Chain A
Amino acid sequence: MASLLIWALKTAGYVVPRRFVEGALMSRVAGLVTAALLASLVIAQALGNNGTITVDARVPAVGVAAILLYFKAPFMVVLLAAGVVAAGLRFLGLMV
């Protein structure tokens, strides 16, 4: 149901805009909203834990991901490295 709702919302986004969305302001806002949302999602996913802030194996994993992104590593390499770091630290009992 929720997926269908989003699909409708997205399609509406295609039909409505044209004249409404045109211009520098909307493109400025759209770009910055995307950056803000993604930054927020990084934090929520890396530190959030049922309404608390928790520092665990996700933090070093995201740190490694950031270093790899800085050196322009491909998307899949970044994701795999993050998974390996977090899973490895947990497997070794070094972090929860």
Chain B
Amino acid sequence: MAEEFNAHHHRRARNQGFQVAAAVSLYGVSFGALSVALGFSIGQTMVLSLLMFSGASQFAFIGIVATGGLTAVGAAVASAGLLGVRNGLYALRMSPIIGPGFFKRALAAQLTVDESTAVAVAQSDLTSSRHGFWATAFSLYAGWNISTLIGAIAGDALGDVRTWGLDAVAAAAFLALLWPRLTSREPVVVAIGAAAVTIVLIPVVPAGIPVLAAAAVGIISGIYRHRVAPHAPERTEGGAS
């Protein structure tokens, strides 16, 4: 009876993972198409999806390099890295769920993203969490890379970015990634401040720098808010990778 009950929970966790992965993998098509349309090769695009495997970081990287060229690579790397910091925080949360084993932990590290963590922590027991994590992780990794390739091949045939409105699609993609994070006043205020800093700086500094200044706004307000109200409600987790 108990075994049957557990098996049911594990199956449900895996199914949740597959569904989340299938939905999120569709972003991969837009990433692939956009990346190629912005001037990256299909190979470079695939390297980003295979190795970086973090949607927001990848979109940020191609967006900054596309607008700033080679001089903006440093800023692009820094932005992508900063956006990846939260994956490190997820890793802390996932660590006891994954358990010991060097190879297993190394693999889990690369696959720890918004979605796999969200499915894992939503489960009611430890083994279901494990089932949920690995099901999401593997299906998302496969789906994300296959759909990136499809998008990259399709994007290659499209030609000019602007004709197809792909420059607007990129802006909409960032907005869609930002939206689920605007759950309380704190991130909303910081987002508005960061947007204002960006508008002011774009005409006066090289491409990529305004984004880093915005990141500084986030860091400073985070430290300030922590001092002023250390026990304010934490932001809800979620959003795209």
A residues near B (Cβ < 8 Å) are 2-7, 9-11, 13-14, 16-18, 21-22, 24-48, 50-53, 57-58, 61-62, 65-66, 69, 74-76, 78-79, 81-88, 90
Contact = CB atoms under 8 A, between A and B. Distances in A.
Contacts of A36: 190-191, 193-194, 214-215, 217-218, 221
| Most chain A beta carbons < 10 A, residue from B84, B182, B187, B217 | B84
Contact of B57 (A6, A28, A61, A74): A6
Contacts, number: 274
A35 B178 contact: yes
27 contacts: A3-B48, A3-B52, A6-B51, A6-B77, A6-B81, A10-B52, A14-B112, A16-B88, A21-B88, A21-B89, A24-B231, A33-B83, A33-B85, A33-B215, A36-B190, A38-B177, A39-B178, A40-B195, A40-B211, A40-B215, A47-B202, A58-B168, A62-B171, A75-B27, A79-B176, A83-B172, A87-B163
A79 B73 contact: no
| Most chain B beta carbons < 10 A, residue from A21, A28, A76 | A28
Interface of B: 23, 26-27, 29-30, 44, 47-48, 51-52, 54, 56-57, 59-61, 63-65, 67, 73, 76-77, 79-89, 91-92, 95, 109-110, 112, 162-179, 181-182, 186-187, 190-195, 197-199, 202-203, 206-207, 210-211, 213-215, 217-219, 221-223, 225-226, 230-231, 234-235, 240
